[in-house]
Structure 1
């Protein structure tokens, strides 16, 4: 879908921006080294935004109405209610979402492979694309497997730091 949206000849994005007068000529979104990374990142954020939104919504639904009402009675404005009640309530769930997104960003493969295969000029190459290219394109299975294990170890270290931070906060 995103390759069609970003297509330099008949893509929906070029057509829309051209008709609105923002472009004089069509742009090769995935063929340009400086635009390809931003294009792939936008597609990835679009794909994963719903997960973060659902986590935040679930957290907001557990916020007790009594706290908001008490703050209103005490004279807190909308900004103060957000800053001192809503945001502190959201932070733990947003931290979970952040860890999930970091893990997903490290292992992202599908969008990049379908859209650019890591190019142009390796500007969109992620760790998982590098592992794939090392193992299958360059026929170096051993080093590809070693890089994959390093990638898993880094993710596990990140998770260990997150769990350690959670346990410290609970004490």
Structure 2
């Protein structure tokens, strides 16, 4: 620490200390962005001419409006796998030198 300027202290001390918390926030926000259903359902219910569709909305429509429970369950399962893959990618890339 002695002799290091502000930039070097930030890069070599502060940033590595913030990395685990930042990784947790990245994973959480990624999962919340993928499954954001409640906000769109409450505000627009799909919006005018399906303008505000998200993946979770499609799962809802397929499952409860079209009553295709098998297809809706499969879509939800694929959405969960995609979320886990994104979380794994974030952990793998940010977890190096942790």
Question: Which TM-score tier does this pair reach, normalised by the shorter chain?
Answer: 0.7 to 0.9
The CA deviation at 1:117 is 1.3
The CA deviation at 1:157 is 2.2
Which residue in the other structure is 1:74 paired with? 3
Structure 2 length as normaliser, TM-score?
A: 0.77
The CA deviation at 1:107 is 0.9
* Structure 1, unpaired ranges of 5+: 1-69
SS in 2 for 1:85: helix
Assess if the C-alpha contact under 8 Å between 2:63 and 2:69 holds in 1.
Answer: yes
Pairing partner for 2:84 from 144, 153, 156: 156
Q: Is the aligned partner of 1:111 residue 2:20?
A: no
Pairing partner for 1:122 from 50, 72, 85: 50
CA RMSD of aligned residues (A): 2.4
Instruction: Indicate the structure (1 or 2) with the bigger Cα radius of gyration.
Output: 1
Question: 1: CA distance between counterparts of 2:49 and 2:11?
Answer: 44
The CA deviation at 1:86 is 1.5
* Structure 2, unpaired ranges of 5+: none
Which residue in the other structure is 1:133 paired with? 61
Structure 1 length as normaliser, TM-score?
A: 0.48
Q: Kindly indicate whether structure 1 or structure 2 has the higher relative contact order, using CA contacts under 8 Å at least 6 residues apart.
A: 2
The CA deviation at 1:114 is 0.6
Aligned residues: 97
Q: Is the aligned partner of 1:146 residue 2:74?
A: yes
Question: 2: CA distance between counterparts of 1:152 and 1:107?
Answer: 9
The CA deviation at 1:163 is 4.5
